[in-house]
Amino acid sequence: MSAAQRKMKVGKTASVATPVNMVFGMGQTGLSVARYLRRNSIDAIYVDSRSEPPGLDELKKIAPDARIVSGKLTRKLLKGIERIIVSPGIPDSDSLLVQARKAGIEIVSDIEMFVEDTQTDFIAITGSNGKSTVTTLVTLMCKSAGKAALAGANLGEPALDLLGADKPDLFVLELSSFQLHRTRCLPAKVSVLLNISPDHLDWHGSEQEYRRAKYRIFTGALAVVLNRDDPLAEGCVADSVPRISFGMDAPEDGQYGIVNENGIDYLARGDKLLLASPEMALIGAHNQANALAALATGELVGLEMSAMLQVLSEFPGLPHRMQFVSCIGGVDYINDSKATNVDAAIASVLSVSGQVVLIAGGQGKGGDFDHLAHSVHQKLRSAIVVGEDAELIATALADLVPVHRAATLPAAVLEASTLAHAGDTVLLAPACASFDQFENFKRRGEQFCDSVRELAA
């Protein structure tokens, strides 16, 4: 079925007595789908396997006449359904989706619907790490250069909610592997792949499947930004598609990278020095890579270099991403709660000068903690482990650095304050998801910040 035919299926003429659309999942994405369908007078049945799904009361306000089913979901619900719009957190292994595929029912993401509807150019950004920072940088760079830009999808506003706002010059979409997995075509003005490291293997099943989802960012792209450290990415892009690469090495002409001159690292385009890394407001070497990716993206959409560099000199970063919290007794406390996988935690530790007291732990998502241990142990004064997979991390580090255990994050912060020396950094870089003890990584980061502030009180 073509995109045009799919749109006709769910277009305004599709509102009939028996809905042909099913919305699976009533969280933030499901509610945004409901608002979109309501704006376009499209009927749907709404289902969720949880007996008391989040957002249920809000959904009833948005679609008061819709059929809503929660709790046990049976095959009978699929009768007459032609398209299922699935929230990104629901895996393909879900029994209702398995049955739907057997029945030949179309399964799509909200991003697929966004692509079919939007008449505005958009930038698509993904990566295992750094995508929220780059999405924010690109959005700020657009505004600095005089272009109206709205950011959303996996960051901030859901994609379909963006379509209800005043039309901007550009949309800037942060896309997760879950969203990309169910998106067949993405004709972005620029598609950006920052990096790929093993993550969400519990959802995707294998690193190969995870990579395949990430590489979908290039499907239909009009121009691309690539990381030179990923040789496989280049092969996923048609030869005719314009591209710019970035990396932490010295760049070739027209590409972005790092040039060291007189002991100082500079962001550079070819042999032209753009900005000394100490003049960036962002902390950490990995944020230099994020800045380079943002500059390459801005070039491809025609932004002025001066406007982009102004943003890099002023933007300090998002909360919970290498966020400086306080300096107490000569010890820096940094919150990188968003480091939810092993490679992100490694990048965090290696970007800090001096010795590190690392706080890590949570739900490991199949991460390789031996890789974490052997990559960072020389930087660690000690490690404190918390959460569900604390013992897995402790075992990996045991013969390399002193390891301490804490029942809670506040207890870990207090323990870290007794272990750190002046000049050290206490770093929350969990290498794990937060869901064993927290609603999300933000709540984890907020508790870390609160605990540090109590130390300073």
Q: Percentage of the chain with pLDDT > 70?
A: 94
What is the β-pairing status of strands 83-86 and 21-24? parallel
| 227 is known as an active-site residue | no
Residue 11 has pLDDT above 80, yes or no: no
pLDDT at 4: 37
pLDDT tens digits along 198-229: 555 565 557 788 888 899 999 999 999 999 99
pLDDT tens digits along 336-376: 999 999 988 998 999 888 999 999 999 998 889 999 999 99
Residue 427 has pLDDT above 60, yes or no: yes
pLDDT at 386: 98
Kindly name the residue from 131, 181, 320, 338 that is annotated as catalytic: 131
Q: Per-residue pLDDT averaged across 368-391, rounded?
A: 97
Q: What are the start-end ranges of the E strands in 13-147? A: 21-24, 45-48, 67-70, 83-86, 106-108, 122-126
Bridge partners (DSSP) listed for residue 324: 334
Q: Does domain 113-314 have CATH number 3.30.530.20?
A: no
Strand order across the 106-108 sheet: 67-70, 45-48, 21-24, 83-86, 106-108
**Number of other CB atoms surrounding residue 94 within 10 Å:** 15
Domain regions of the chain by residue span: 20-108, 113-314, 323-456
pLDDT band of residue 7 (cuts 50, 70, 90) is very low
The DSSP-derived string for 327-390 is EETTEEEEE-TT--SHHHHHHHHHTSSS-EEEEE-SB-TT--HHHHHHHHGGGEEEEEE-STTH
Among 25, 64, 29, 26, smallest CA distance to 43 is for 64
Q: Which CATH number fits domain 20-108: 3.40.50.300, 3.40.50.720, 3.30.70.100, 3.30.420.40?
A: 3.40.50.720
| 131 is known as an active-site residue | yes
What is each CA distance from 322 to 3, 252, 332, in whole angstroms?
A: 41, 30, 11
pLDDT at 6: 40
Long-range CB contacts for residues 229-234, cutoff 8 Å, separation at least 24: 229/195, 230/193, 230/195, 230/196, 233/193, 233/196
pLDDT tens digits along 116-166: 999 999 999 999 889 999 999 999 999 999 999 999 999 989 999 999 989
pLDDT at 205: 59
**Which amino acid is located at 231 in the chain?**
P
Write down the CATH number for the domain with range 323-456: 3.90.190.20
pLDDT at 15: 41
Contact in structure between 125 and 138 (CB atoms under 8 Å): yes
3-state class (DSSP) for residue 45: strand
pLDDT tens digits along 87-111: 998 988 899 999 999 999 999 999 9
pLDDT tens digits along 316-345: 988 898 899 999 999 999 999 999 999 889
Kindly name the residue from 21, 129, 154, 341 that is annotated as catalytic: 154
pLDDT at 98: 96
**Average pLDDT score over the chain:** 92
| 262 is known as an active-site residue | no
Residue 428 has pLDDT above 60, yes or no: yes
Kindly name the residue from 21, 181, 189, 200 that is annotated as catalytic: 200
Bridge partners (DSSP) listed for residue 300: none
Q: Per-residue pLDDT averaged across 157-176, rounded?
A: 95
pLDDT at 200: 57
pLDDT at 119: 94
pLDDT at 58: 96
pLDDT at 353: 85
Among 395, 352, 354, smallest CA distance to 372 is for 395
Token pair 């100082």: residue: 264
Q: Per-residue pLDDT averaged across 5-23, rounded?
A: 56
pLDDT tens digits along 254-282: 999 999 999 999 999 999 999 999 999 99
